[in-house]
Amino acid sequence: MGKDREHMKTTVKRKLKVWEIALLVGLAIFLISGALALQTQEQLSDKVVRLHVLANSDSEEDQALKLLVRDAILERAEDLLSKSGDREEAEGLLRGRLLEFEQVAAAVIAQAGYDYPVRVELEDTQFPTKEYDGFTLPAGEYLALRVLIGEAKGQNWWCVVFPPLCTTASVEVPASALEAGLSEEEVRLITEENTGYVLKFKAVEWWQQAKQMWSEWT
């Protein structure tokens, strides 16, 4: 009986070690995959411009107004950026037209019967992971054309204004992204439709949080 118990203990210990090794290997793969995906995300953020429209409030009326403003801004931005060859050129065109975008938004707001002030700015903004029709962008800091309506305290709307992925059919997203200068690796990162990309994006979020905590400590 004593030998049997010792044998059982040895077997259990061996099984635990196998599980521990498997968990450590899995964690290592997760972290390495996340580090590589984070590097790709940072390269990706240098090639896109997000659109960020913030409603005055969460009231039904203010949310409907947000969408009207969004449509007008998208139309003008995509027309302006239609011939942009890269993010740098797109950024230059947008920075030179911020007042014009404010005027476009203000006209929509006034036509809808509101007198909210509106501010349009172009700045680096932190975004969470966001899934769209045909692609997903990992969490991180991106240059964003931000439209702030009134108090800008309502639910907001995000998408990508360059490349023009907001209005691109899902099947055309890869071609549109490649044409705007994204690499095949970056396109694969945002268009993969399997559990692999979910784990990669979770790892990216973890690395982003770790970087933020480290910067706060130092």
Asked if residues 212 and 204 have their Cβ atoms less than 8 Å apart, the reply is no
Amino acid at position 214, single letter:
W
80 in any annotated domain? yes
> Directed axis angle between helix 184-191 and helix 2-45, to 10°?
120
Determine the pLDDT at residue 177. Answer: 83
The C-alpha atoms of residue 91 and residue 89 are separated, in whole angstroms, by: 5
Determine the pLDDT at residue 129. Answer: 80
171 in any annotated domain? yes
Determine the pLDDT at residue 61. Answer: 96
Write out the two tokens for 197: 């990309």
The C-alpha atoms of residue 30 and residue 22 are separated, in whole angstroms, by: 12
212 in any annotated domain? no
157 in any annotated domain? yes
The stretches in the chain having pLDDT less than 50 are 12, 16, 19, 24-30, 194-196
Q: Under 8 Å CB-to-CB from 81, ≥6 apart: which residues?
A: 90, 93, 94, 161, 162, 164
How many domains does one find in the chain? 1
23 in any annotated domain? no
- Strands laid side by side in the 156-162 sheet: 118-127, 140-149, 49-54, 156-162
30 in any annotated domain? no
- 58 is in which domain, residue-wise? 43-204
115 in any annotated domain? yes
Q: Please tell me the pTM assigned to this model.
A: 0.71
Write out the two tokens for 62: 């203010």
68 in any annotated domain? yes
Determine the pLDDT at residue 58. Answer: 95
- Partner residues linked to 50 by β-bridges: 144, 160
Q: Under 8 Å CB-to-CB from 162, ≥6 apart: which residues?
A: 48, 49, 77, 81, 84, 87, 90, 180
**Does a cis peptide bond (omega within 30 degrees of 0) precede residue 174?**
no
